[in-house]
Each structure stands twice: as C-alpha cells, then as structure tokens.
Structure 1
Amino acid sequence: MKKSVIGIGNALVDILTKINDDNILKELNLPKGSMQLVDREMSDRIGESLESFESSMAPGGSSANTIHGLAKLGVPTGFICYTGNDKVGAFFEDAMMSVGVKPVVFHSDTPSGTSRAIVSADAERTFATYLGAAVELTDSHLNLEQFKGWDYCYIEGYLIANTSLFVKAVKLAKEAGCKVVLDLASYNVVESNRELLLQMLPEIDIVFANEEEAKSLTMKSPEESLELLSQYVDIAVVKIGKRGSLIKRGDEMVHIDCHKVSVVDTTGAGDMYAAGFLAGLINGMSLKECGELGSILAENIIQVIGAKMDESRWNNIKALYPQI
C-alpha cells in the first residue's frame, strides 16, 4: 500500500482578480506590488470594490498547496485545518476532496481565510491576505487519532508562530509513528522562532528551506546550512533559487540544477517542490530523482498565475514519471 501524508496548516482560498485600472488599488490604499495582511473590515471592502471584475478561486495556503499537489500525483493525503462556516470554506473543502484529500476541518463563525491576488494590466500582482478562521486552529483541536495510520505529517512553517500548536502537532505525529516533514516557509517566521526551531530539529525527519530561511536558522551559507541541518534530520533540502537545490541524506549529497523557464508568478514554487520531492520519496525514487521531480513541479507552477496548474501540465509531468 502506498505511503500517505497528513498535512496541517492554514486553509486559505486564493482569489485571483484581474483589474484594468490601478486607481482601484489607490482607492483601497494598497501599494501596487505589495503583500500585506488585512483585517476583516478591509477584506470585505476589497471584495466589494472588486465585485464587478472577473475572479477565479483555488484552494490555497502553503501546506494545503503541497497536499493538493501530492494528491494530484496519486499520494493518499489528508489535511487538518480551520475554515469559516461559509461558502468560501465549503469551496476549500470541496476543492480538496475533489482531488482525493481527506479533510479534517473545524468550523468557525469567523469568515474563512482568503489570499487575494489583484493582477494589474501589466501583470504585476498586489496581495491582500485575510487569515480569518484559518488561524483559529489551536493545540486543543489536535488528538492522537488524527495522526494514526498516516506515514508522514507535513507541517508548514507558518504554524511555528503558534508554539503550542506546532509542538503538539510534532509530538502527536511522532507518537503515531509518522515521519515529520517541516517546510520553514518564511525567513521572518524563522527569525522570530529560531530558538524553538533549533530545539525541535531533532524531532524533525525531513526539512525544506530556501537560502534565506536556512541562513536565518543556521547563520551559515547554503552548503554549510545543509551540512548542519543534516546532522539533526534524516533528509535536509536547501533550495538555492536559480542555482537549483541541495539535498543531503546521511553521507549522500546531491545538487539539482533547474531549467531556465519563463517566470510568470513564483507563488507556490516551494510548496510544489515539496510535493514533487515527497511523491518521489514515497514512490521509492533516488534522492536525485526526488529533487528533479520537485524541480519540475516548481518550474511548471512558476509559469502560470497562481498556485495551481491546469490538467495538461499535470498530465505532461505524470507522463515523464510513469512509476507514479
């Protein structure tokens, strides 16, 4: 039976809206090209201002993107999260279930979290994220049964900001016999929680970090970070942008090159890399093949707007890897 992955993280719905006049951004006091968190009132105001424009929705959130990608590659998956008791939350659940994810969803009267990407005529994106119900998940919602029967537990780095939730998720996952996979997600989160992360590293089995995140944690170069991280975890992955990625397991170290592609939107690149890498690992591929599959997914996602690919891209990827 194929190994399985349970994810835990923020359930967000990505709402992509194309606008033809940047004055809307000025009216909303959203600096063009910026990324910022907004409150409920501002989120509602943005929604009302963009009502007349065509929008598309997709399930989002860092860990959710990875779990969705794994499901598309045939890996049995589940996802623990919190949504609002509303249409946006129902959309998130339905979209995840439609690709085979088994969601464990808690509901709140708070509206569901959304990440709005407002695309200007020149293709520049302005982000406004309302976390909403997504951040209401606490350690009290977790129990051992939720983790039993899964082989891997995938945790997004944004959860680290909620110390008790992060620590309990790792503890229960290990108790249930899961290998714990952590994506560091953001150098800001790493900087703010460095001591906790260093303390928890021995409990982590696989860690993904980009160059900035690795440096924030170890204060070292990518190569030195890889060496240090691999002393604590089974598999360490440090992504180094256009230079590809570095992977180390025990004494084995590989460098994966990446191909030059036309970059449209980098949203979800790290999430998709993790999905490809883990799918490869679950299917018994070598470290090099795992890294290559991760890179192929990342290279494809950055060629489209948003963190979801169309079926033709998925089919092309699966054709390259018939063993999946």
Structure 2
Amino acid sequence: MYDEVNNKVDVVGIGVSTIDMFTVVDAFPKTREVQKASNMVLDGGGPVATAMVTLAKLGAKTIMIDNLGDDWSGLLIAEDFKKYNVQTHCLEIFSEQTSSIANILVEKDTGIRAILYHPGSVPEIKDITKYTHIIQGAKVLHLNGRHLEASLAAIDIAKHAGVKISFDGGANRYNQNMRQIVPKVDICILAKEFAFAYTGETKIDRAGETLIKSGLELVGITDGINGSWVFDNDIGVFHQPAFKMDNVVDTTGCGDSYHGGFLYGILHNMSLKKCAEFASAVAALNTQALGGRKGLPSLKTVEMFLRNH
C-alpha cells in the first residue's frame, strides 16, 4: 500500500515516457542505402521522464505519472525508472496496448540526431484527481503539455496547494494548446524554437522580454551549444554559456537533463545564475555517452566538473 506520509516527493512529472533505440551512423542514410551501424543501444526517453531520472540521479525524490502498455517497451520503461529510483506507482498499465517507441539515428562525428517516433496505442490520462495527494505533497510539478487535460487539472491542484509549476517547451512541441498552460506556470523554460513560435519574435532577448511582460516570473530560453538565457522580474536577464566538451557522443536528452538540473537548483535554493550553471553542467556531462540517460551525472560528478571549470 502507498504510504502518503513517508513517500512525499520533491518533483512530480506528467508526460509521455518512451523507449529509445539509438543507432550510430557515419551519415544519415540516403534512399535504398544499406549502412553498417557502429553502435546500437536501448535507453529510456521522453522529455519529462528524463528530467525525473536526472533529478533522481542527483538525489531528489521524483515520481512519474503516465500511462503505459503491457508490451515489452512498457515493461522496459517501468524497469528503467526503477533502476534510477524514480517512483513508479503512478504508472498505469493498460493490457493489450503498446507504449511509445523512438528510433534515433545519431551521426558519429557530430552527435546530430534524426528521430523516428511511434506514439503507441495507450490512451491519454483521464483522471488526474486520483493523484491529488501526491501532487499536493510535492514541491514542484513538471510537465510539457502531453496528457493535456490531465496536465491542466494537475496545474489547478498544484496552484491550490502552493506547489511550483515547471514547464518544458520543447523545440518541436509548440501548438495552440500550449497557450492554455504557459500563462499558469512559475518556471517556464523553452527551447528557442518554441519561444519564437509562442511570441512571434525572432530574437531571444525580445522573446524573453515578451514572455516576462505577459506576466511570467521566470523564463529560460535554451539554444543548444549557444547556451541559455534566463529572464527574471527581479534580476533582469543573463546568459549562461554552454560548457564546451571535447568529445560529444550524443546530444539526446541534453534539454531534458538541463530541466532536471535547473529544478535541482531550485529545490536547493540556489541563485538563478547557479541554477543555470548547474543545469548547463548536467547537460554537458550527458553528452558523453550514447543515449538520453546513460551519461547522466551524479551530484558528486557535477560538483567536481564545476570545480574544474
């Protein structure tokens, strides 16, 4: 039986979890081309899911709310969460349904990715209220707009309980439905492409200013190797450069792990500049292995990295 008192978590995640097949190639294949892959691995994925794993690897208590099929991929997704100590009792398993799978091609020399995605057949989360006590007991609710109706209901639960709401606006995730979520969040970290689509601006500083003027308190805009920008009502704006890594194996999960690192900083009352620096270090270290999670660092590794940089 779930012990509500002793199992309160730091962060609750709502999103879609996947199993990712990573295939390393010399170059993306052309029509009818047969090419030998230099490496292939399976890893867990999904933006919110990987943020939860990142936080757990750093030592935070996290839980994932999602629906999975009872197929092989669903079983692997659940087992991967358990491996990283992400709580799984809010994963609902549907019989004779399939879970989400992604096939990710990674260029060997650049780490650039191409992604093929199959969403599976599991339904959206219908009733988030059965998890009300879990959301109310958390410090942060993290989501990206998947399971839209459930996410909107969870936001209302979190707001009434004084739980911070964190949003991940991914590069290819913008649609009009996101306008129902963004104005309600406390921590809004967006990929540059999402920020431009949402605001209609074409420059990062203008996009951030527009978002702050809309009423948001904290906005982050990420731009890969160009780093991230953080906008805040009190301290204004600052730029956090990305850490340069000599050997980038794979950039999958960098944005997701940035979110996890940033939220870890928030949980531990770091300054916003320290949050961004810490998040950038986590993301940089995650490029050192194939897969969105296999390179995720421990807290000790991040602290050592920052001492040397």
Normalised by the length of structure 2, the TM-score is: 0.82
Is 1:140 equivalent to 2:127 in the alignment? yes
**Alpha-carbon distance in structure 2 between the residues aligned to 1:127 and 1:219:** 26
1:88 aligned partner: 73
2:3 aligned partner: none
Q: 2:99 is matched with which residue: 112, 116, 131?
A: 112
1:154 aligned partner: 142
Change (3 A) 1:22 1:243: closer
1:249 aligned partner: 232
SS at match of 1:296: helix
Question: What amino acid maps onto 2:234 in structure 1?
Answer: D
**Alpha-carbon distance in structure 2 between the residues aligned to 1:288 and 1:21:** 38
2:117 aligned partner: 129
Cα displacement (A) at 1:174? 2.0
Change (3 A) 1:229 1:273: same
Q: How is 1:94-105 mapped onto 2 (pairs within 5 angstroms)? A: 94-103=79-88, 104-105=90-91
Question: What amino acid maps onto 1:229 in structure 2?
Answer: L
2:17–2:77 contact (8 Å) kept in structure 1? yes
Cα displacement (A) at 1:112? 1.8
Question: What amino acid maps onto 2:120 in structure 1?
Answer: G
1:13 aligned partner: 19
Structure 1, 311-320 or 215-224: larger mean CA deviation: 311-320
Q: 2:244 is matched with which residue: 250, 260, 277?
A: 260
**Alpha-carbon distance in structure 2 between the residues aligned to 1:312 and 1:83:** 27
Structure 1, 166-175 or 121-130: larger mean CA deviation: 121-130
Cα displacement (A) at 1:53? 10
Cα displacement (A) at 1:233? 2.3
Cα displacement (A) at 1:105? 0.6
Cα displacement (A) at 1:243? 3.0
Q: How is 1:197-276 mapped onto 2 (pairs within 5 angstroms)? A: 197-220=178-201, 221-231=203-213, 232-252=215-235, 253-262=237-246, 263-276=248-261
Question: What amino acid maps onto 1:116 in structure 2?
Answer: N
Q: 1:183 is matched with which residue: 168, 174, 181?
A: 168
Cα displacement (A) at 1:240? 3.1
The share of aligned pairs that are identical, in percent, is 25
Question: What amino acid maps onto 1:16 in structure 2?
Answer: F
Is 1:62 equivalent to 2:47 in the alignment? yes
- Unmatched segments (≥5 aa) in structure 2: 1-5
**Alpha-carbon distance in structure 1 between the residues aligned to 2:112 and 2:184:** 40
1:139–1:168 contact (8 Å) kept in structure 2? no
Is 1:4 equivalent to 2:10 in the alignment? yes
2:66–2:125 contact (8 Å) kept in structure 1? no
Which of the two has greater helix per residue? 1
Structure 1, 266-275 or 14-23: larger mean CA deviation: 14-23
Cα displacement (A) at 1:90? 2.0
Cα displacement (A) at 1:140? 2.7
SS at match of 1:140: coil
Cα displacement (A) at 1:19? 7.0
**Alpha-carbon distance in structure 1 between the residues aligned to 2:264 and 2:245:** 23
- Unmatched segments (≥5 aa) in structure 1: 33-49
**Alpha-carbon distance in structure 2 between the residues aligned to 1:21 and 1:264:** 14
Question: What amino acid maps onto 1:250 in structure 2?
Answer: N
**Alpha-carbon distance in structure 2 between the residues aligned to 1:124 and 1:277:** 24
**Alpha-carbon distance in structure 1 between the residues aligned to 2:151 and 2:170:** 14
2:15–2:48 contact (8 Å) kept in structure 1? yes
Change (3 A) 1:226 1:21: closer
**Alpha-carbon distance in structure 2 between the residues aligned to 1:23 and 1:275:** 33
1:7–1:67 contact (8 Å) kept in structure 2? yes
Is 1:287 equivalent to 2:272 in the alignment? yes
Change (3 A) 1:293 1:3: farther
Question: What amino acid maps onto 2:10 in structure 1?
Answer: S
1:83–1:111 contact (8 Å) kept in structure 2? yes
1:40 aligned partner: none
1:173 aligned partner: 158
Change (3 A) 1:95 1:25: farther
Structure 1, 290-299 or 218-227: larger mean CA deviation: 218-227
1:110–1:132 contact (8 Å) kept in structure 2? yes
